[in-house]
């Protein structure tokens, strides 16, 4: 599973942060690793340089082998909370998708 990280101009996309968030994503989605070709992460600050509640947005898109990509969005006060929220939402979506696939194979 390849992870592609994208940030807007207000969020630092340095290598240390990217490695940290990649490890969170890999850990959170490890059950689906063999079924995912790529995860795209888009981080942005919705208020730019101004402060505001829940202004960090993380859109996470999963490319599932043989299926249409799915995307989830999470907004939070910090980058870490937005990313972990998106991981949780994506994991729940994948659980549903792969659960349905198993049910149809029976």
> In residues, how long is the chain?
106
Task: Answer whether 0.75 is exceeded by the pTM.
Answer: yes
Number of domains in the chain: 1
Question: How many distinct helices (H) and strands (E) make up the chain?
Answer: 2, 4
For residues 40 and 24, what is the distance between their CA atoms, to the nearest angstrom?
14
Contact 39, 58 (CB under 8 A): no
Q: Tokens for 27, please give them.
A: 């850990």
- Kindly report, residue by residue over 25-74, the tens digit of the pLDDT: 999 999 998 999 999 999 999 876 667 677 899 999 999 988 899 999 99
Range of the domain at 43: 2-105
Q: What is the CATH number of the domain that holds 47?
A: 3.30.160.100
**Distance from C-alpha of 56 to C-alpha of 76, rounded to nearest angstrom:** 5
CA–CA distance, 43 with 79 (Å, rounded to integer): 8
* 9 band by pLDDT with thresholds 50, 70 and 90: confident
């Amino acid at each position: 599973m390849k992870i592609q990280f994208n940030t807007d101009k207000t969020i630092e996309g340095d290598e240390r942060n990217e490695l940290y968030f990649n490890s969170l994503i890999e850990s959170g989605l490890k059950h689906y690793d063999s079924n995912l070709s790529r995860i795209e992460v888009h981080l942005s600050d919705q208020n730019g340089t101004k402060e505001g509640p829940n202004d960090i947005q993380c859109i996470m898109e999963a490319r599932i082998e043989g299926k249409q990509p799915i995307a989830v969005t999470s907004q939070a006060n910090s980058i870490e909370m937005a990313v972990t929220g998106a991981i949780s939402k994506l994991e729940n979506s994948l659980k549903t998708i792969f659960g349905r696939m198993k049910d149809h194979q029976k």
